[in-house]
Amino acid sequence: MPKKIAIHIIESVDFLEKLHAKTQEPLKKDRLKALLYLKTERYHFQSAIAEKLGRTEKTVRAWLQDYSQNGLPGLLQVKSGGDNTRTICARMSALIEKKVTDPKTTITSYVELKLVLEDELKQDIRYGALYSHCRRKFKSKLKVARKSHHKKDENAEAFFKKP
């Protein structure tokens, strides 16, 4: 039989319920629910709390260890998210906007745009970062225009049409 959880929760039930009601993030809400279940003695085992919240036992165990070591602020600190450092600086973003929104541009692909940016700014940029930035910010779709439609000469077209 599993061992009962023996953690002393300092906060009152009312405080935890109010904090749970105010919290918007689902992960923090689940962490607070785990504390509420223990404080109100609805559940006594990690497996039961994990099953109720739809999480793994290891996750609940990590939450409870965070709480016992760092208290409530340590429990509510979410450490996930990865490395979200920006790879495109403001100067590069402005140049991208200028190149992408210019109707008379000769750039026909993201590879060409990448080479132009690297040449002008002397900074390296990953293709994926450039592609997603252009698609997200400017809704761009760089495509090569067909020869029959690109810089079409109306006089030459009239010559080939039958009267």
Condensed to tens digits (0 to 9), the pLDDT of residues 44-65 reads 899 999 999 999 999 999 999 9
Q: What is the pLDDT of residue 150?
A: 55
Q: Which of the residue ranges 61-75, 83-97, 149-163 would you say has the lowest mean pLDDT? A: 149-163
**8 in any annotated domain:** no
Report the distance separating Cα 161 and Cα 148, nearest Å: 14
- What is the per-residue pLDDT for 87? 80
Does 71 lie in the same domain as 25?
yes
Q: What is the pLDDT of residue 147?
A: 57
Judged by average pLDDT, the poorest of 21-25, 102-106, 110-114, 118-122 is 102-106
- End-to-end CA distance of the chain: give it in Å, rounded: 94
Q: Is residue 85 part of a domain?
A: no
Q: Which domain covers residue 97, as residue numbers?
A: 90-138
Looking at the fold, whether 70 and 118 belong to one and the same domain comes out as no
Split into its structural domains, the chain has a count of 2
Residues 70 and 94 in one domain: no
Mean local confidence (pLDDT), 146-163: 64
d(CA 14, CA 12) in angstroms, rounded, equals 5
Examine the domain organization and report whether 36 and 60 are in the same domain. yes
51 and 97 share a domain? no
User: Cα separation of 9 and 17, whole Å?
Assistant: 13
Q: Report the pLDDT value the prediction gives residue 58, as an integer from 0 to 100.
A: 93
- CA dist 97 and 112 (Å) reads 15
- Residue 49: enclosing H or E segment and its boundaries? helix 46-53
Residue 150 lies in a domain: no
Radius of gyration of the chain (CA): 29
Between the alpha carbon of residue 81 and those of residues 26, 78, 85, 131, 133, the distances in Å are 15, 8, 11, 21, 19
Q: Could you say which of 53, 76, 99 is where a domain stops? A: 76
Q: How confident is the model at residue 29 (pLDDT cuts 50, 70, 90)?
A: very high
